[in-house]
Amino acid sequence: MIRVTVPLGERSYPVVVGAGARAVLPELLPPGRRAAIVTQDGIPFAVDPAREHRRFTIGHGEEHKTLATVERLCREFVQWGLTRADVVVGVGGGMVTDVAGFAASVHHRGVPVVHVATTLLAMVDAAIGGKTGVNLPEGKNLVGAYWQPAGVICDLDALTSLPEREQRCGAGEMAKYHFLTGDHLLGLPLGERVARCVEIKADVVAADERESGRRALLNYGHTLAHALEVADGYRMAHGEAVAVGLVFAARLARHLGRIDDRRVEEHLDVVGRAYGLGTEVPTGMDPDDLVALMARDKKALDGLTFVLDGPAGLEVVAAVPVDAVRAVLTDDRRSARA
């Protein structure tokens, strides 16, 4: 097994990656009486916290990633008698870790949380770094809190039963890391690749825990991705949307004169050819609707804000001209129809 530390001083915590990693759960749990296990029905992955525990379930789908779900969880915690001396354990994918982490952050103003990630998306992104949150009708992840876990487990055994679409969803986030560092991740065995993604994210989080600067780079491809998810009623999986968002961001950067055709082709090589993901904005998407949704993005600073590639690598770029965004969106729609 591989252990990676997210270095946050007194709040540093381990991320354990490997087959059978769930066996270390009891040693990662902080002292306490009981554990509230937050998960979803149908996740074929049982954990044993080696202490008194109770299972709490949330619904599947982004329509359940809401404040109402968090309120219900917290009320159930109260009814069971969960206190700040206990712990929440999130077992599932990115939605579970987001919701369980947010519920833990607000219940009694903060209960420790440990995540057991069961999807590739959660392992390389959602469960790491302490960002939690839920959706509003106006947009994705607009309400949340920073609440670092006490530990994270990435048990590769959970991936053996993962549906193909969930594998693709994680691949979209994994592709992002190629452009953050330039690492050639595709040559690594899966466990080492997951661990390297965790290391990259851990370094970024340690330098900018609350996304006041460098951490925003982890949202590469996400400005359009979140808009696509909302516009499509969350039928489009997150990683699939991120894949499209990565290539769109590269094309937008080229349109603005920041990168050349060769660099756009590198994005297509990684996202489309290596990971086999879609790279075009789906047909039927209205550019004006997407622009309006992107304007609500939580990292928006001054008008439309994107993480864009450039001569010095990725950086946050504010006040991106609407006409440029609309032009690239229109070109993508034409490509999708061709």
Greatest distance between any 2 Cα atoms in the chain:
60
pLDDT tens digits for range 291-328: 999 998 766 667 899 999 999 999 999 999 999 999 99
The whole-angstrom separation of Cα 166 and Cα 27 is: 29
Per 3-state DSSP, the chain is made up of helix, strand and coil in percentages (nearest 5) of 50, 15, 35
Please give the pLDDT value at position 335: 52
Please give the pLDDT value at position 332: 59
pLDDT of 244 higher than 60: yes
pLDDT tens digits for range 120-179: 999 999 999 999 999 999 888 899 999 999 999 999 999 988 888 888 889 999 999 999
pLDDT of 336 higher than 80: no
pLDDT tens digits for range 69-92: 999 999 999 999 999 999 999 999
- How many Cα atoms sit within 13 Å of 24 on the Cβ side? 21
The whole-angstrom separation of Cα 108 and Cα 52 is: 20
Residue of 120, 85, 83, 116 lying closest to 100 (CA atoms): 116
Please give the pLDDT value at position 212: 75
Separation in Å, CA 217 to CA 8, 46, 141, 235, 267: 19, 34, 17, 25, 16
| Confidence (pTM) | 0.87
pLDDT tens digits for range 13-54: 999 999 999 999 999 999 888 999 999 999 988 999 999 999
Average pLDDT (279-291) is: 92
Q: Which domains does the chain have, with CATH numbers?
A: 2-170 (3.40.50.1970), 220-337 (1.20.1090.10)
pLDDT tens digits for range 86-115: 999 999 999 999 999 999 999 999 999 999
Active centre residues (catalytic): 109, 131, 173, 201, 211, 215, 219, 222, 226, 238
Please give the pLDDT value at position 182: 78
Pair 196, 183: CB distance under 8 Å = yes
Strand order in the sheet with 113-117: 2-6, 13-18, 151-155, 113-117, 87-92, 34-39, 52-57
Q: Which of 188-192, 253-257, 332-336 has the highest mean pLDDT?
A: 253-257
The whole-angstrom separation of Cα 161 and Cα 46 is: 13
Please give the pLDDT value at position 338: 44
The whole-angstrom separation of Cα 153 and Cα 149 is: 11
